[in-house]
Amino acid sequence: MTAGPSFLVEIALQPAPGVPREDLEQALVSLLQRNPDLGTATDGESGIAMLRGPDEYRLDEGVGALRERCAFEIVAGAPRILYRETLAAPVAVRYAHKHVLGGRGA
């Protein structure tokens, strides 16, 4: 039984401002047909397209091939990780405000 390629590295891809996302998606489909070692995914929360590969060398080749064949600019960079802060447990705080009138010794 053979498993699919193992993707160890990924890079975020976005089209230049003003370019429809569909153009990038079509370019990625044609890249995957020529290079089966690569894979794609879309981040569900941010909607950014991710190009995945077994190593950085193949990712660089894939991004280079995309930039050569596309008529638009592609912005490649590190994937963004959305930061969330979640309260783990409720906290009870006891505080008594002491109102002080006057100055020293009053």
- pLDDT higher than 90, residue 33: yes
- pTM (two decimals): 0.68
Q: Which domains does the chain have, with CATH numbers?
A: 9-77 (3.30.70.870)
pLDDT per residue as tens digits for the range 1-23 = 455 667 888 999 988 888 888 98
Mean pLDDT confidence for 87-103: 84
Residue-wise pLDDT tens digits, 57-89: 999 999 999 989 888 898 888 887 777 788 788
Average pLDDT over residues 75-104: 83
Q: How many angstroms separate the CA atoms of 52 and 25, rounded?
A: 14
Distances (CA, A) of 103 to 99, 100, 106: 12, 8, 6
Residue 84 has what pLDDT? 77
Structure tokens at 94: 């006891």
105 vs 59, residue with greater confidence: 59
The tokens for 89 are: 């447990």
